[in-house]
Each structure stands twice: as C-alpha cells, then as structure tokens.
Amino acid sequence: MRPKITVALAGNPNSGKTTIFNNLTGTRQHVGNYPGVTVERKEGRCRHAGVDIHLVDLPGTYSLTAYSAEEVVARNFIIDEKPDVVVDIIDASNLERNLYLAVQLMELGVPLVLVFNMSDQARARGYQFDLDKLSRFFGARIVETVGHKGHGMQQLLEAVVATAREQDCAEAQPKSGGNLACRASIRGPQASDGRIDYGPDIEAELEKLTDLLRQSGFSGPKYNPRWLALKLLENDKEIRSQIKSPRLLERVDQSRERIEKRTGENPESVIAGRRYGFISGACQQAVRSTIEIRHTISDRIDAVMTNRVLGLPVFLAMMYLVFYLTFTIGDPPMDWIEEFFGWLGSSVDTLWPADSVLKSLVTDGIIGGVGGVVIFLPNILLLFLAIAILEDTGYMARAAFIMDRLMHKIGLHGKSFIPMLIGFGCSVPAIMATRTLENRRDRLVTMLVVPLMSCGARLPIYALIIPAFFPKAWHAPMLWIIYMIGILLAIASAKLLRSTILRGESVPFVMELPPYRLPTVRSVLLHMWERGWLYLRKAGTVILGISIVLWAMTNFPGLSPKQQAEFEKQRQMVENSFRSEPQKAAALLEEIDNRRAEAALESSIAGRIGRLMEPLLRPMGFDWKIGTALIGAFAAKEVFVAQMGIVYAVGEADEESESLRSKLQNNYSPLVGFCIMLFCLVSAPCMATIAITRRESNSWKWALFQLGGLTALAYVLTACVYLGGRLLGLGI
Ligand code: GDP
Ligand code: MG
C-alpha cells in the first residue's frame, strides 16, 4: 500500500462537499485555481490508518458531459490525474437526481466510494436504503454521513483506504484477482460490472464504434473504448476534438443518424433516458419510501405497472393479449398465403406439360417445402410486432422487472425473460436477444433453454397432429398443454444447469426502468422486420436447401429396372385379364401403384435411413416413416410436416386420396400423435439455432451440448410417455 493517496471529492452542488472536505482536512487546506480556467481548486490533506490522504475538492457538477467548464475540469482531473479514489458526495434526500453523476463515474470505471450525505434529511423524508444492494449495483462502497454534524467521517476514511487498497491489490495481480493477504484485507462489494444496457439500437452502434476505436488504437490505458464510444455517440465536443481521423468521425455521425432515425430522438436524450432508467430501476429495487412521492408520468404509470399486487395480473393480461392478437389477426393472412401456394403449386402442375423429375422437384420439393414455412410468417411478424411495441414503449423493461423475483427462483434474471418470450416466435432472434445479459453464466443458461419455448416453426406440427387425433373440445387445451410442458421443462432445466455445471453466485444487476415513451411507427416496424427477416432468411436459404435435399432423398435412387419391370408386368396382367370389368381393374391397378410407390420410398435414401433408425425409434412408438420426417425436422422443425406430406404422398398414386390427417389417424394411435409433438417440442432445435448458439456463446462445446442435451431429454421423456402410456393401456 502506498503511504500517500490522492482522493477526489465529486458531487452535485450543495450536496455538502465543502462541509465534508472541511470536516476531513480541518485547517490543512489551500485554495488555488485550475490552470487556464477560473474554477476554484481546493486541496487539503489528512491521515488515516497510516495513510496520507491528499484530498481535492472538485467543482460541483450534475454530470460529466462537456457542457460547462466545471464539468470539463472535474472530468479531466479524474481522467488525467487518475486519483486513487473518487468520492462522490450524494444528497441522499434527493437520491435519484444525485445518482446521475454516480452512474457516470461508475461508467468511467474509477475506484469509487459513494457518500450518502444528508442522511438525516433522507430519514426525515421517510427513505430507507438497502445499502448492500445499492453498493452491489454501483460496484462501490457506500457510507452514510451527516456532514454538518461530522457523523460518519471515520467510516468514510475507512472506505476510502479500503478501496485504495483493493485497487492496489488488483493492480499488483491483475490476473489472479489479488494475493491472499490482499484478499484477506479487503471485503469489497461483489460488484456488477458497471455497465448500463442502453437498449438494442444504441448497443449495436456502441459495439461497432468500440471495435473501430480498438482497431485504430484509440483505446490506450487512458480511456476505455466503450466509454469513448459512448461519449462520441453523445456528441461530446471535448472527446470529438481528440479524434483526429475524419473517417472515424464520419462513422460516428452515421451511427448517430441511424440512432436518430430508429428512435426518433437524438442519441443524447436516449442515452440520458437509459441512465435514468438504470437509476430508477436501482431505486425501485433498493429504496423504500414510507411516504410515496412520485413525480413524473412514468413514475405514476409505474405505480400501477410494477405494483407488488397489480403488476403480475397486468403482465399476464398483456401476454394473453399478445398471443390472442397474434393468432386471431394472423389467421386470415395465413389462409391467403396457404391459398397462394396451393394455387402456385397447381398452376405449375397444369402448365408443366409432362411429368418429370424437375417438375416434381419444383412442385413437391421447393413450393411445398418453402410454402410450408412462409405460411407462419404472419404469426411470427405479429408476435415480433407486439414485442417491438412492448419494448419501445418501455413496458418490456417492466415485465422483466416484474418477472425478476420469479426468475430468481429458478436461478435466472428478469432480463432472461425477454429472450424467452421472443423464443415463442423463433429461437434465432431470441438467442441473439440474450446479449442484454451481462453475466456469462446467466446468458448461457438462458441461451441453452430458449429452444424449449415452443417456437413458431413447431406450430404446424401441432396444427397437423392435434386435429388428427383429438376431439375438437380438446384442441385448445392440448395446444396449451404442449406450450406449458415446454415452459416447465425450461424452468426445470435452467434450475438444474444453475445448480450443476453453471453454478455460481448470480451477480445482482439493475433492472433498468427507462422512461415510458410513445414509440415511432418507424422504429417499431424496423425492429419487427429485423427479427422477421431472420426467420424469412431461414426459409429462403436453409429450408430451401433442405427441402431440395429431402426431396432428393425420398425420390432417389428409385426402383431398380428389375423392380420396375416387375410392377409393369403386374399392371399388364391386370389390364389384360379384367378388360370386361373396368372398375375392378382400376382398383387393382391403384393397389399396384401404391405398392410400387411404397417400395420406391422404402428403397430411397430416406427410407433406408429411416429403417436403420427404426429400432432406436421403437421405444417412442415411431416407425421409419416418422423417422424420415424427424431427420428433416432436425434440419428445421417446419420440415417435419412437409416431409410427412412427401412420405405419405409418395405412397399414394390417385387423385382422390385421403388427407394426410386421416392417413395419420389410420396409421397411428393418439398416444403416438402426442409423442410426436412431445419429441418435436423438446428435441434438438433446428440447425439454425445450433449455429446461432455456436456464434453467440463463441464455442462449439455449448452448441453441441445444447444439441445433445435436448435430444437426449426428448428421447428419454418421449420413451417414458410412450411406454407408460402403453402400460396404462392407452393407444394399443
Ligand atoms: P457543496 O456545495 O457541495 O460544497 O455544499 P456545502 O458543503 O456548501 O453544503 C451546503 C449546505 O448543506 C450547508 O449549509 C451545509 O451546512 C449543509 N449540509 C451539509 N451536510 C449536511 C447534512 O448531512 N445534513 C444537513 N441537513 N445539511 C447538511
Ligand atoms: Mg462547495
């Protein structure tokens, strides 16, 4: 420990800085000016625990922007002279406003001590602080003081020395986090990492700029690149003037413009809003007031929305509304799209003169496969629209806030809730949305269980199976049960992961409550479109490719010439011997064609793989035909239905065939139907999900773990249900 440390006192004007400075230094102080500006510079010294403390009283400021000379002086002192500890004197009776400066100091990443001064007045106004929690949120020790009575000065000095000591240890051994002696001597707060989530629009630009700054070597030891990028987005003149590259500045302006276009506000106010959101959330979680004082409109709305009693019912009602609207409004356009693809298929069929391999590829493979996916676009876009509106108005942050306590019970955060909700649309954007979770463990757990939220692509499977096997009164409850199973499994898996391989103390972080605002149409549509596009792109690329591959797998290699000749011979025989009975002849010919098609399917690549898998599938009640469809489902869940269609269409030759549903009904029991849904719900998500998990977790290990874990879970669960069901005498 150095024998001498420098400590800067920061704080809003009138927070009691000078009073505390005088308390600490007594007469040992002198007054000067900061060079070049007429801002008073007061310095003094004192001793504590054998350490000489050099105190500098910074000018009083509300913020660390570059709007006034005082702010620039305070900021430059902190950045250039690197005091060992910054003490922020806060008027605790006016906490939210005073914390704005604290947030900025936190973001700057300086060793910080927060002083809740005027705590006598705060108490008189009925505030109760959970100092432990606040201290974790801000990653700083907090001391309560009453300046003009001199209360709390010893504790303040202790906190200062402890913070400086901790800093020394961290610097001495940056990797291991301090040696044993160090660790024993300090008990610093288990801090959050002092990052504010600025929301997807700002974060995206921040990420870009941070990378750019790193590449161009601006992130020296002096500035951290995220902070620098943030300041540039805020259009900080001081920082701008230090960036010499006009190209970089141009990129900054582009970023600012994009933000403005998307949010309809200038970046400064969005950023300030999110900072207040952080403070607001922190205070909601850690400050109790015996006398309710709520000022802004946001506060008043929150009095209802985040109310302990009303919050949850309001939230559940919102969610119900979201799903109700998604499915009722989404229905008619779904029909239109279905009709369109049906029309397209039959038009191609009639316009294309002769049957050929290419025609079969286009109608069965491409139009059928891709059409089956695009049908769900209205549902998915509507769900994303609703989510975008909830996010942009600021309600989503409240939902996360309300869910926080419940989510904590399963070892997750309220913030994990949003990705899970998006997961009902599509796992790919949902996994990308886990980026708001700063803690890697929380993020991984969320990522791993998101696929259990039944995504839009599984819906066609349920839509096919449920009406085939269950009476009408059971349709809605069945669907609900399936979704619930997914949710419950997600909860159970999260809890399991959190208490085994991803164990660890969860770092508390603030559930930001950004101000409510009216979203712009533009930004809502943009946000909806970005997520919807991920889904469509999947349909256009992955699924198109897979449809073609699957089509080929079910159509090739086809029957051998010998088999062909055999079936031809049979046909000839029937035609010759039943010339007088055309009806009987037709029936017999149809039977032959069916057998031929089935033989062709069985000898196809898909059929052979299905057959190979059959012993493995039998405990779940599945046959090789379902097996071939499951291969497709792994590629993308939507393909299951298309593939069942192909499997059963290949096995049919006449026009007036029974519908796929009645075929399923004839071939399988309701128990098997349920097992199909269960397996598709739980089993490995589609390839796109695995790919995005790989990208977002930055490791194949987790992607493969997700793949293997979910498949194994699905297998065991489905087999248990099937075998259990058989024992109970169901579905024999
Ligand atoms: P500065 O502008 O931050 O330097 O604030 P000052 O130190 O000049 O204090 C402003 C006023 O608040 C003075 O009248 C102080 O006596 C008063 N004050 C300082 N600390 C406390 C406190 O803890 N409680 C109360 N009630 N008043 C205080
Ligand atoms: Mg003063």
- Contact in structure between 72 and 111 (CB atoms under 8 Å): no
The pLDDT, as a whole number, for residue 658 is 56
The full length of the chain comes to: 732
Q: Residue 85 above 90 pLDDT?
A: yes
The pLDDT, as a whole number, for residue 731 is 59
Contacts 24+ apart (CB under 8 A), 150-159: 150/23, 152/115, 152/119, 153/20, 153/23, 153/24, 156/20, 156/24, 156/87, 156/113, 156/115, 157/24, 157/46, 157/48, 157/49, 157/53, 158/48, 158/49, 159/113
The pLDDT, as a whole number, for residue 234 is 92
Give which of 156, 168, 51 is closest to 113, Cα–Cα: 156
Q: Whole-angstrom Cα distance, residue 127 to residue 133?
A: 15
C-beta atoms surrounding 174 within 10 Å: 9
Residue with the smallest CA separation from ligand 1 atom 17 is: 16
Greater model confidence, 729 or 242: 242
DSSP state letters, 359-391: HHIIIIIIIHHHHHHHTTHHHHHHHHHHHHHHH
Greater model confidence, 658 or 425: 425
Q: What percent of the chain has pLDDT over 90?
A: 23
- Contact in structure between 249 and 218 (CB atoms under 8 Å): no
Strand, helix or coil for residue 315: helix
Q: Whole-angstrom Cα distance, residue 414 to residue 283?
A: 16
The pLDDT, as a whole number, for residue 459 is 82
- Ligand 1 environment, Cβ below 6 A: 11, 13-19, 60, 117-118, 120-121, 146-148
Ligand nearest to the CA of 15: 1
Name the pLDDT band for 362 (thresholds 50, 70, 90).
confident
> Is residue 638 within a helix (H) or strand (E), and if so which, with residue range?
none
Name the pLDDT band for 294 (thresholds 50, 70, 90).
low
The pLDDT, as a whole number, for residue 649 is 63
User: Which residues, other chains included, contact 564 with Cβ-Cβ below 8 Å and sequence gap of 6+?
Assistant: none
Instruction: Point out the ligand 1 atom lying closest to the alpha carbon of residue 13.
Output: 2
> Is residue 26 within a helix (H) or strand (E), and if so which, with residue range?
none
| Token pair listed for 142 | 């907090």
Ligand nearest to the CA of 21: 1
> Is residue 333 within a helix (H) or strand (E), and if so which, with residue range?
helix 311-351
CA atoms within 13 A on the CB side of 473: 0
Question: Strand locations in 161-305, DSSP E?
Answer: 287-289
- Contact in structure between 261 and 494 (CB atoms under 8 Å): no
Buried b (16+ CB within 10 A) or exposed e, 552-574: bbbbeeebeeeeeeebeebbeeb
Q: Whole-angstrom Cα distance, residue 359 to residue 181?
A: 77
Instruction: Point out the ligand 1 atom lying closest to the alpha carbon of residue 120.
Output: 24
Four-point Cα dihedral 714, 715, 716, 717, nearest 10 = 40
CA of 494 to the centre of ligand 2 (A): 51
Q: Whole-angstrom Cα distance, residue 400 to residue 421?
A: 11
For Cα atoms 366, 367, 373, give the angle at the middle one, nearest 5 degrees.
Answer: 95
Residue with the smallest CA separation from ligand 1 atom 21 is: 147
Strand, helix or coil for residue 523: helix
Greater model confidence, 482 or 632: 482
CA of 55 to the centre of ligand 1 (A): 18
Give which of 605, 580, 599, 680 is closest to 640, Cα–Cα: 680
Give which of 121, 53, 119 is closest to 87, Cα–Cα: 53
Q: What percent of the chain has pLDDT over 70?
A: 90
The pLDDT, as a whole number, for residue 504 is 73
Q: Whole-angstrom Cα distance, residue 50 to residue 30?
A: 22
Give which of 175, 378, 397, 174 is closest to 281, Cα–Cα: 397
Which of 9, 12, 14, 144 is the best mutation target for the ligand 1 pocket, counting ligand atoms within 8 Å of the beta carbon and taking the most? 14
β-sheet bridge partners, residue 40: 33
Instruction: Point out the ligand 1 atom lying closest to the alpha carbon of residue 11.
Output: 3
Greater model confidence, 652 or 462: 462
Greater model confidence, 442 or 714: 714
The pLDDT, as a whole number, for residue 113 is 96
Give which of 294, 296, 218 is closest to 252, Cα–Cα: 218
Which residue has 């992955």 as its token pair?
A: 542
CA of 13 to the centre of ligand 1 (A): 9
Instruction: Point out the ligand 1 atom lying closest to the alpha carbon of residue 17.
Output: 3
- Contact in structure between 375 and 536 (CB atoms under 8 Å): no
Q: What is the pLDDT of residues 427-475, one digit of tens each?
A: 888 888 887 777 788 889 999 999 999 888 888 788 888 888 888 888 8
| Token pair listed for 22 | 């005088």
CA of 544 to the centre of ligand 1 (A): 70
What would the 3-class secondary structure string for 460-498 be? HHHHHHHHHHCCHHHHHHHHHHHHHHHHHHHHHHHHHHH
Name the pLDDT band for 719 (thresholds 50, 70, 90).
very high
Q: Residue 180 above 50 pLDDT?
A: no
Average pLDDT on 202-210 reads: 92
Buried b (16+ CB within 10 A) or exposed e, 335-351: eebeeebeeebeeeeee
From first CA to last CA, the distance across the chain in angstroms is: 78
The pLDDT, as a whole number, for residue 219 is 57
Q: Residue 185 above 50 pLDDT?
A: no
CA of 115 to the centre of ligand 1 (A): 13
Give which of 549, 589, 556, 561 is closest to 573, Cα–Cα: 589
Domains present along the chain, CATH in parentheses: 4-184 (3.40.50.300), 199-294 (1.10.287.1770)
Q: What is the pLDDT of residues 517-533, one digit of tens each?
A: 788 888 888 888 887 88
Instruction: Point out the ligand 1 atom lying closest to the alpha carbon of residue 19.
Output: 7
Greater model confidence, 409 or 135: 135
Average pLDDT on 225-249 reads: 88
Average pLDDT on 336-340 reads: 84
Ligand nearest to the CA of 39: 2
Bridge-based pairing of strands 112-117 and 141-144 is parallel
Q: Whole-angstrom Cα distance, residue 667 to residue 649?
A: 14
CA of 513 to the centre of ligand 1 (A): 30
Candidate from 265-274, 363-372, 403-412 with smallest mean pLDDT: 363-372
Q: Whole-angstrom Cα distance, residue 665 to residue 677?
A: 15
The pLDDT, as a whole number, for residue 177 is 44
DSSP state letters, 71-84: HHHHHHHHHHH--S
Q: Whole-angstrom Cα distance, residue 598 to residue 602?
A: 6
The pLDDT, as a whole number, for residue 103 is 94
CA of 291 to the centre of ligand 1 (A): 23
Instruction: Point out the ligand 1 atom lying closest to the alpha carbon of residue 20.
Output: 7
| Most confident residue range from 127-136, 180-189, 236-245, 606-615 | 127-136
